[in-house]
Amino acid sequence: MTAETQSPWITVTVNGDPYRMPAGSRLTDLITRRGLQGERMAIAINRSVIRRTDYPTRRLTHGDAIDIVHAVGGG
Amino acid sequence: MTALDNPLILGSRHYGSRLLLGTGRYKDLDQTRRAIQASSAEIVTVTIRRLSSTPGGSGLLPLLSELGCTVLPNTAGCYTAKDAVYTCQLARDLLDGESLCKLEVIGCKETLQPDVRGTLAAAETLVNDGFDVMAYTTDDPLIARELAALGCAAVMPLGAPIGSGLGIQNPLNIARIVETCAVPVLVDAGVGTASHAATAMELGCDAVLMNTAIADAGEPVRMAEAMRHAVIAGRQAWLSGRMPARQYAQASSPPGAL
């Protein structure tokens, strides 16, 4: 095991910015911490889209690149 | 749509309106709502962007749902086929499996000219993944034909650069695209005023997609209504078959005098 996986914290990136989470966190934990519950959004981890039904079970790992997107006005 | 016309068919869906609207650049959601209603558009585009850390939502999707619009996500801002495909995949999840997408792969920041090689590559991937691709492209008839052959649901040549409002710069090419593509052809980008929209339809286009022409008008809601009439007028003129143009006068009254 690496030093990172033994640490109580992991660092992921959320929309390009580093974000620290407790090791063992799941995607729903991130959503809660960011206050995004109930938002109409889509999420990808490492450019792979995660289905909404998988949010509660998807574990985050150190270095994950997470994109959280929504719809805005545009042509 | 009038009683004398067929519906616009995109993928497996039928639409009465031949005017598609973008939702960018409006003053607020209320103006967006009134413009959509005045235009009678049934398909409305949105852009996919990273959610800022401030929650709250834009309220745009609930509005479009309330209005009963089909939401057409675009890939504006994508400069590679890979990014465009990724954006469409995110959009499909966001929009509960919506298969329609407006593909844009931009090749140049100054002109926002489409990168046709990237567009073709992304279109192929998306079509194979089950998307109904509406491909924004140049007014090159050969590229448009290739996009149609790949299985795109529609090809959308530009009339002029995005946001320029210059009107259709190369009507000959648009007419040629209409002639040679077996899928719906929409002019997307370049419309500045109602006569431009009518011209697109008179050239035989199946529909017109616009945003800035309405949102940047002095009175956007009134312009939305003007565009609705222009698209219908142009369409009806195209279906009617215009009279032949002549070099010389031809009296419309019987010959002779009193």
A75 lies in some domain = no
- Per 3-state DSSP, what percentage of chain B is helix, strand, and coil (rounded to 5)? 40, 20, 45
- Is B109 noted as a catalytic residue in this protein? no
Q: Which residues of chain B are within 8 Å of residue A75 when distances are taken between CB atoms?
A: 22-25, 45, 47, 74, 76, 162, 209-212
Model confidence at A7, pLDDT cuts 50, 70, 90, reads confident
**For residue range A49-67, what is the model confidence (pLDDT) as tens digits?**
999 999 999 999 999 999 9
Specify if A16 maps to a domain: yes
Q: Which band of pLDDT confidence, cut at 50, 70 and 90, is reported for residue B225?
A: very high
- pLDDT-derived band at B52 (thresholds 50, 70, 90) equals confident
Q: What pLDDT score was predicted for residue B169?
A: 97
* Cα→Cα distances B103→A26, B35, B107, B120, Å: 33, 24, 13, 10
Residue type, B162: I
What is the pLDDT at residue B190?
Answer: 95
Residue A47: list chain B partners with CB under 8 A. Answer: 86
* Average pLDDT for chain B: 95
Q: What is the average pLDDT score of chain A?
A: 92
Residue B1 has pLDDT above 80, yes or no: no
β partners of residue B208: B19, B187
What integer is the mean pLDDT of B54-65?
77
pLDDT band at B114 (very low <50, low <70, confident <90, very high): very high
Q: Nearest CB to B46: which of A51, A67, A74?
A: A74
In this structure, what are the phi and psi dihedrals at residue B169, rounded to the nearest 5 degrees?
A: -85, -25
Instruction: Tell if the CB–CB gap between A42 and B91 is shorter than 8 Å.
Output: yes
In a domain, A66, yes or no: yes
Confidence of residue B116 (pLDDT cuts 50, 70, 90): very high
Check residue B53 and give its pLDDT: 52
* Residue whose entry in the numeric block shows the structure tokens 């448009």: B144
Strand boundaries in B91-222, DSSP class E: 100-103, 132-137, 154-157, 186-188, 207-210
Residue A36 lies in a domain: yes
CB B23 within 8 A of CB B214: no
Q: Residue B50: its chain A contacts at CB < 8 A?
A: 15-16, 67-69
User: How far apart are the CA of B250 and the nearest CA of chain A, in angstroms?
Assistant: 45
pLDDT digits (tens, 9 = 90+) for B233-253: 999 999 999 999 999 999 999
Query: Is A4 within the bounds of a domain?
Result: no
**Chain A closest CA to B51's CA: distance in Å?**
5
Residue B22 has pLDDT above 90, yes or no: yes
Q: Which candidate in B50, B65, B216 is best for mutational testing of the A interface (most A CBs within 10 A)?
A: B50
pLDDT of A1 > 90? The answer is: no
* pLDDT category of residue A6 using cuts at 50, 70 and 90: confident
Give the residue on B whose Cα is nearest the Cα of A41. Answer: B94
Q: Report if residue A28 sits inside a domain.
A: yes
- Please report, for residues B18, B20, B55, B63, B112, the alpha-carbon distance to residue B66 in angstroms, rounded to integers and kept in the order given: 20, 17, 21, 5, 32
Residue A2 located in a structural domain: no
Looking at this predicted complex, what is its ipTM? 0.91
> Is the minimum CB–CB distance between A65 and chain B shorter than 8 Å?
no
How do B154-157 and B186-188 pair as beta strands?
unpaired
Confidence of residue B56 (pLDDT cuts 50, 70, 90): very low
* B5/B7 Cα distance (integer angstroms): 7
Q: A2 to chain B, minimum CA–CA distance in Å?
A: 31
A4-8, A19-23, A56-60, B66-70: segment of lowest average pLDDT: A4-8
Nearest to B49 by CA among B75, B85, B79: B75
Q: Say which amino acid occupies B179.
A: E
What is the arithmetic mean of pLDDT over A20-34? 96
| List of residues 6+ apart from B119 with CB closer than 8 A | B81, B103, B104, B105, B135, B136, B137, B143, B147
Residue A20, domain member (yes or no): yes
Q: Encoding tokens for residue B241?
A: 């078959």
pLDDT for residue B57: 53
Range of the domain at A17: 9-70
User: Does the pLDDT of residue B58 top 80, yes or no?
Assistant: no
What does the pLDDT read at residue B107?
96
- Is the distance from CB of B42 to CB of B70 less than 8 angstroms? yes
Q: How many structural domains is chain A composed of?
A: 1
Domain of A45: which CATH number?
3.10.20.30
Q: A34 contacts in B (CB within 8 Å)?
A: 53, 55
